[in-house]
Amino acid sequence: MGQSQSDEHSEASSTSTLEDEYASLNTTELQALAVQRGLPVPVAAERALLLPLLRSYDIGRRVGSGGMCSRTVSHESDPLAGRGSSKQVCSSVLSVLQKIRDAPGHMGCDIGGSLAKMVMAFPEDQAEQAEIFPEKFGTSGRCHRHLQMTLKNADQSFLLTFLSGATSQLEEAVAHLGDCRRQASEGHLVRLAQLRGSAERERSPMSPGRESEDSEGRPFARTFSSWSDEVFTSSNKAHRRMATAGGGACKFAPLFRDALRVELEPVREMRAMVDGFLLLAPSASLGTDSTGGSNELSHQDIFTINEDGTTVSRPWPEPLFPLILVIMGTGVSVLRVNSAQCGDFVRVGGTACGGGTFLGLARLLTSATSFEEALEMASWGDASNADKLVSDIYGEEGCSTLGLPGNLTASNFGKLGESVEGCCENDLARSLLQMVTQQSVLLASAHARLAGCINRVFFAGGFVDEKNVIARKSIALNFRNLGGCAYFLRHSDFLGALGSLQGALRAAGGDASPK
């Protein structure tokens, strides 16, 4: 009602054009198109199911937008296009999400405020599945192939593959996938009513009880209906469970459940960090799982930074316990780990002066707009142009008399109280970095001395991951000045995800089959 004949003719023409375009595609092309649009596609879906699913998708989009949509959609109207991102970028993220959901083996995740990290454990006989993940996806997604290693758990071997990406991008992509599912569901209901009505009309000239059939001789309406019931009415049932640490485990649980049919199972963050660390440590017999076996990893090396700034691999200290584990993320937590026994650790301290402080103040005091830009500035800066050093107060001779290194910081930004001349924004960024790292070094050294493990202090977390070379050098230098040794881990940013994976393996009792 209220629609002109020309409008009706245009809509019918558009529908016919879409159907003609879909009819010209083979089954493989239809499957690829459905996946690209974020539609739930069963394994080995047949042409008779794909055609009505895609057409239902178009009907749903037309109903929602008030007009017929063509198969080739602009970036502005394509539901696969990220908010403010390109179609290609968002599509690659959605493709990776689907591969994660359908991957064999086990997985552990850590969804923090800034970065989401994941470890996927592929069974040895399916290790080639790890190659399906692109090295880069979206604007921030990365597959860290150089971190891959082998895990032996009881009588099974797994290839561990590490993925990461911005939490905001992950949230955006999953939300878009949920939108696609809802749109497809709406269109499906319209199309299903049409198909059922058509089937009823076609039954009258046929023999009683006979239904219209598809191209392979099966009752079409019944086949489509039963398949659609499986896809859409079970949308709240989890296909997979994923052990997850970090605040995102609770915050994004409904989103993952509705859009991906993945159930996020929260893991206590501090325990996940410690479990992930102990999973890497060769002398820590972290639990024996329910099968009586223990975990054994390859390539679990640690390293420190020499005085000349070079990275040097080191063996794990013996004895290993007690030790101090410093987790540097948005904020900082200092943990004392007493043994490899499950849960035998305590948080002894921390500070709100962490990576979030560095980025926030860098954006306030310099022209940097991102963490990467702030680090780049710091790499060209000289903190001594802003900080007041011990040598500035006592002189070199006085430092020798006191037995203090002259390059120790007496006051962060202390020189700026006298004059700001000679200090540029690169120097400010470097001074900020020094301030953040020195706070953690002082805390860690104090707790390490109390625990009697000044030479067994490990720094981990997103703030000291592989791209922040300056922070690691600063920590190593400052800790050395205080008479200790600071260690770093190659998998620094994945301890929470590794600990979550450990929990998943423990819960599975050594059974590596996907849930």
**Greatest Cα pair distance in the chain:** 109
Q: Which two tokens stand for residue 267?
A: 């893991």
Return the residue matching tokens 């069974």. 123
CA 463 to chain centre: 15
Helix (H) or strand (E) holding 244: strand 240-245
SS3 114: coil
Q: Of 314, 286, 310, 284, which is closest to residue 301 (Cα–Cα)?
A: 314
Q: Of 186, 146, 149, which is closest to residue 63 (Cα–Cα)?
A: 186
Q: Of 69, 501, 504, 85, which is closest to residue 279 (Cα–Cα)?
A: 501
User: Across the chain, how many H-helices and E-strands are there?
Assistant: 15, 18
- Give the dihedral of Cα atoms 312, 315, 319, 322; nearest 10 deg: 50
Q: Of 45, 73, 74, 46, which is closest to residue 57 (Cα–Cα)?
A: 73
- How far apart CA 121 and CA 135 sit, in angstroms, is 17
Asked if 336 and 447 count as a contact pair (C-beta separation under 8 A), the reply is yes
Amino acid letter, 102:
D
DSSP state for residue 207 in the 8-state scheme: P
Return the residue matching tokens 């013996």. 318
- How far apart CA 183 and CA 38 sit, in angstroms, is 10
Active-site choice (269, 373, 397, 425)? 269
Asked if 459 and 487 count as a contact pair (C-beta separation under 8 A), the reply is yes
Q: Which two tokens stand for residue 287?
A: 């639990």
SS3 364: helix
Asked if 438 and 353 count as a contact pair (C-beta separation under 8 A), the reply is no
CA 156 to chain centre: 26
At 414, phi and psi to the nearest 5?
Answer: -60, -35
Strand partners, 460: 327
Q: Which two tokens stand for residue 488?
A: 């770093």
Buried b / exposed e over 426-453, threshold 16 CB at 10 Å, is: bbbbbbbbbbbbbbbbebbbbbbeebeb
- How far apart CA 337 and CA 439 sit, in angstroms, is 20
Cis omega (within 30 of 0) for bond into 319? yes
200 has catalytic annotation: no
CA 448 to chain centre: 32
Strand partners, 157: 152
Q: Which residues are catalytic, by number?
A: 269
